[in-house]
Amino acid sequence: MLKCKINGVEVEVKEGTTIIEAFKIAGQKIAHYCWHPGLSVAGVCRLCMVEIKGQPRLQIACNTPVQDGMEITNQSEQVKETVRWGLDFHLINHPLDCPICDQAGECGLQDQYMEFGLYTPEMAEPKVKKHKVVDLGSKIVLDTERCILCSRCVRFTAEVTKTYELGIFNRGDRSEIGTFENKPLENNYALNTVDICPVGALTSKDFRFRQRVWYLQERESICTGCSTGCNIKIYFNEEGLFRIRPVYNEKVNGYWMCDEGRNIYKFVNKENRLLKAKKGRKGEWLEMEGGAAAKDVAHHFKSLDKERIALVVTGQFSNEEYEALFQFYKKNVGNDFVYHWINNKESFEDFDGLLLRGDRNPNTKGLLQKLEDYRYEQTWAHLEENLKAGKIETLIVAGPENPLWFPDLKEKVQQWGIQLSHLIWLSSAKVQAVDEVECLTWQIPLKTFFEKDGTYVNYQGLEQKSHRIATIVPGALSLSEAAHLMAGEEYKVDMAPILKGPKKNYYVHRRGYL
């Protein structure tokens, strides 16, 4: 362990720690652009200047290891002056189009300028014009004028994805970020470059111009896109959810997340949700509230033949919900016809080498554990057989939150619609096929991960808690609430605050990924 003093604060750090890391440990502010904890050190922005006692020249903090007994400061006049003029150099050719820049509000240049800059520019020469609105494929737009050439994005594609799409072309003040032969940047982790870009040079097409960032609130959660369970931050406001970004978790995802996971917010928003419970069959639906529908199921349950009921579950729910559902099933039905619906059998074990796994369910591990606890050991083939033989009349389906990852969804539902006489469909997603079934059906809208508390077990067996944040569909139930109500119990449904009303200005400061 090495002892050093950072701005007068004494800290102990491990051998090999750089000064900038020591600053972070000491909780001291330091200006920087090119350094990112998840990437190698480049030392190109020259903003992280510090003064070390006994050394005549200033050093960059990101590339200087701490030595025992160092006394380091970035509060001296000399450092402040250097940072200020360093910033001025960065801004010489910057277009300053903050009004139309998506990064405004969480921009490294804005933050650093307000904190370390505050000078009057002294550059009289015309700005060097570069390329604006460069299309980098289906996900990203590049603005080379705004780029400060920190090379974070280049290092990301070289070190993390190892796809080497991005590079710096030309020299001097004409240097630009670009892709070789203008090939698109299409890898599945490309949007991480948008996150780590300290300025608005790389912007995401999906989020571009849809909101100003100060209209968004942020809350942490767990990605339900696959069994990795990346830690995420959800950005939302009264109009819905708008984007998802990764949160650092050493054990799970590091600093990154995949681009497919960033789409899960779309399945929480109203457009893709089952908004009202319905009872009936094709062409004659009776709309009602979720709770009323669940109670109606409870009412009907008495008249159903218990030996001809079966339950289908997907790996999309939390441990608590499986527990409640199986309790309900054990008490009210009693047979062991419980089946695990595996959505993509062929690619279930796939892994792309970084984060994304073929198992597109957040809690398959948890489900398997619960199935084992309750000794439900039936295979899917058994269900098919029974259905064919007409041995099953009623099917309870705890269906997908994200129908996109259930390619056989439509086909299965159609098949069930013919083979069954009752279907109890529990799902948060709007599924066209369910609206067209011929048998008597209850559709009960469920809450998504955004609206309920729950524990998810990822592929490593790591339990992660996800907390409810707000309510998008007021009538929706969680699977446990639905189970309690279907059992005919008196049960009070608890709800997070509903998102409604005009969007508000949430002042954001230092939200960027610096």
Partner 1 sequence: MSIVHKDTPSTKWYLPGILSGMGLTIKKLFYNLFHRKKMPTLNYPEEKYEYSPRFKGNHVLTVKKDGSLRCTACMLCATNCPADCITIVAAEHEDPTVEKYPIHYEIDILRCVFCGFCEEACPVDAIRMGPEWQTPGLADDNFHYDIQRLAYRPQLKGGILSRVDDEERHQFGL
Instruction: Report in angstroms how near the CB of residue 423 gets to ligand SF4 at its nearest.
Output: 50
Instruction: Report in angstroms how near the CB of residue 448 gets to ligand FES at its nearest.
Output: 39
What stretches of 188-289 show up as alpha helix (H) in DSSP? 191-196
Q: Which does 174 bind (CB under 5 to 8 A by kind): ligand FES, partner 1, ligand SF4, none?
A: none
Closer Cβ to ligand SF4, 65 or 167, answer by number: 167
Beta-bridge partner residues of 425: 397, 443
Q: Which does 5 bind (CB under 5 to 8 A by kind): ligand FES, partner 1, ligand SF4, none?
A: none
Q: How far is CA 301 from the centre of its chain?
A: 39
Q: Are residues 328 and 483 in contact, defined by beta-carbon separation less than 8 angstroms?
A: yes
By CB under 6 A, the residues from 62 to 121 that bind ligand FES are 62
* φ/ψ of residue 194, rounded to 5: -65, -40
Rounded Cα distance, 31 and 29, in Å: 7
The one-character DSSP state at 492 is P
By CB under 6 A, the residues from 187 to 246 that bind ligand SF4 are 196-202
Rounded Cα distance, 184 and 163, in Å: 12
The answer to whether residue 151 forms part of the interface with ligand SF4 (CB under 6 A) is: yes
The answer to whether residue 161 forms part of the interface with ligand SF4 (CB under 6 A) is: no
* φ/ψ of residue 124, rounded to 5: -100, -15
Instruction: Report in angstroms how near the CB of residue 45 gets to ligand FES at its nearest.
Output: 3
By CB under 6 A, the residues from 127 to 146 that bind ligand SF4 are 146
Q: Which amino acid is at 11?
A: V
Half-sphere exposure of 176 (CA within 13 A, CB side): 16
Beta-bridge partner residues of 426: 398, 444
Considering only the stretches 59-67, 207-215, 350-358, 425-433, report the one whose residues sit in contact with partner 1 under the rule CB under 8 A: 207-215
Number of H helices, E strands in the chain: 11, 22
Instruction: Report in angstroms how near the CB of residue 126 gets to ligand SF4 at its nearest.
Output: 18
Instruction: Report in angstroms how near the CB of residue 76 gets to ligand FES at its nearest.
Output: 17
Instruction: Report in angstroms how near the CB of residue 502 gets to ligand SF4 at its nearest.
Output: 13
Closer Cβ to partner 1, 77 or 125, answer by number: 125
Instruction: Report in angstroms how near the CB of residue 209 gets to partner 1 at its nearest.
Output: 4
The answer to whether residue 152 forms part of the interface with ligand SF4 (CB under 6 A) is: yes
Considering only the stretches 120-128, 261-269, 380-388, 438-446, report the one whose residues sit in contact with partner 1 under the rule CB under 8 A: 120-128
Q: Where are the beta strands (DSSP E) in 14-66?
A: 49-52, 59-60
Sole binder of ligand SF4 in the list 103, 227, 419, 478 (CB under 6 A): 103
**In Å, what is the CA distance from 447 to each residue of 99, 170, 210, 290, 326?**
37, 52, 25, 10, 18
Considering only the stretches 109-117, 123-131, 153-161, 218-226, report the one whose residues sit in contact with partner 1 under the rule CB under 8 A: 123-131
Three-state SS for 166?
Answer: strand
The answer to whether residue 13 forms part of the interface with ligand SF4 (CB under 6 A) is: no
How many CB atoms within 10 Å of residue 27?
10
Q: How far is CA 90 from the centre of its chain?
A: 32
Using alpha carbons, select from 270, 276, 206 the residue that is nearest to residue 242.
206
Tokens 């309870």 sit on residue: 396
Instruction: Report in angstroms how near the CB of residue 223 gets to ligand SF4 at its nearest.
Output: 23
The answer to whether residue 199 forms part of the interface with ligand FES (CB under 6 A) is: no
Q: Which two tokens stand for residue 106?
A: 């969480």
Considering only the stretches 3-11, 62-70, 149-157, 337-345, report the one whose residues sit in contact with ligand SF4 under the rule CB under 6 A: 149-157
The answer to whether residue 389 forms part of the interface with partner 1 (CB under 8 A) is: no
How big is the site for ligand FES, counted in residues (CB under 6 A)?
12
Sole binder of partner 1 in the list 16, 57, 375, 505 (CB under 8 A): 505
Residues that bind ligand FES (CB under 6 A): 32-35, 43-48, 60, 62
